[in-house]
Amino acid sequence: MQQKALRLRFTIVTPTLNRRDMLAQALDSVAAQEHGSVEHLVVDGGSTDGTLEMLAGRPGVTVLADRRRGLYDAINLGIERASGDVIGLLNSDDLYPAGTFSAVERAFAASPGTDAVCGAAELFDETGTLARYDDPRDLGLDAHAALIGACIPNARFFRRTVFERIGGFSLDYPHVADRDFLSRFLMAGLKTAPIDALTCRYRRHGGSLTFAAGAERGEGLRGELLRLARAIEADPRATPALKRKARALEGRCLVSLARARLRSDGPGAALRLLAARDGHLSAAPVQALTAGIWDKLSTRRG
């Protein structure tokens, strides 16, 4: 007998700043779900491009003014105000495919003890689909997906109780708070059920925060990931699998950062990065480097 879907109330949280036209498409993708119980919270960072005027005419949309503390704090504000049973996070430049909310409801009905569900995601631009993220291990969320692989947070839908239990996104990680959050999700023993459907379409464009390029941002991102990896390695709540993957992430980051230091400051700076930790000479960076190289060579994803 086919499992009857639950009737859930959805809260969708969308942070935005000066993306009126793409935001309008994101809003349309929510409205097109034709679900009877949805609140859409748009957290605006002070848009001056007509966004607020466009939002004023949108039924079912509540606009919140962000607290000027960054992207993840804007998301946290929406989560704090959420009244739904299930919370989804939709970027202002991304879209939900048709039928997403129905698929989410069916997945929660089929796995009533699960804390989150996740479907496939795709990356697209004006030319069409560029990539698809649908590895079952990523959708089910393992340590690799949380720290290194396709963590696809916007393809995930969480019970509101998840945030009540483990908190929101940490402002200590301006670029990788999603990976920190998913790591804490795993540490808490929470469960994710995969959905055999596409649940998010990521748009690639010049102004994308998710896919922004540039050496300076890349080095900053790697530095942040390095901090996260070392924090997880030291966290007594982390499972052995998560600690192993954090060590591999540390090693991968050290490779990238050492290359950047070699180019910018010479071999001495690169060697110092690989010979010291916390200001002291240590073999730990080299051990992590070895773990990262081995992880990259041995991991097969897809």
Listed residue (92, 86, 77) closest to 17, CA to CA: 92
pLDDT of 209 reads 61
Q: What is the pLDDT of residues 164-198, one digit of tens each?
A: 999 999 999 999 999 999 999 999 999 999 999 99
Residues in CB range of 228: below 8 A, 6 or more apart: 147, 173, 176, 179, 180, 183, 246, 249
Residues in the chain where the model's pLDDT stays below 70 = 1-6, 207-217, 276, 279, 281, 300-302
Phi and psi of 209, rounded to 5°?
-75, -35
pLDDT of 295 reads 82
**pTM of the model as a whole:** 0.90
Q: Is 49 helix (H, G, I), strand (E, B) or coil?
A: coil
pLDDT of 256 reads 86
Note the helical H segments in the chain: 20-31, 51-56, 71-81, 100-110, 136-140, 143-147, 160-166, 177-187, 215-233, 240-265, 267-275, 284-298
Domains present along the chain, CATH in parentheses: 10-203 (3.90.550.10), 215-298 (no CATH)
pLDDT of 54 reads 96
- Quote the distance between the C-alpha of residue 290 and its chain's center: 27
Neighbouring CB atoms inside 10 A of 48's CB total 9
Q: What is the pLDDT of residues 64-112, one digit of tens each?
A: 999 999 999 999 999 999 999 999 999 999 999 999 999 999 999 999 9
Neighbouring CB atoms inside 10 A of 163's CB total 17
Between CA 52 and CA 242 the distance in angstroms is 42
Between CA 188 and CA 242 the distance in angstroms is 12
pLDDT of 8 reads 93
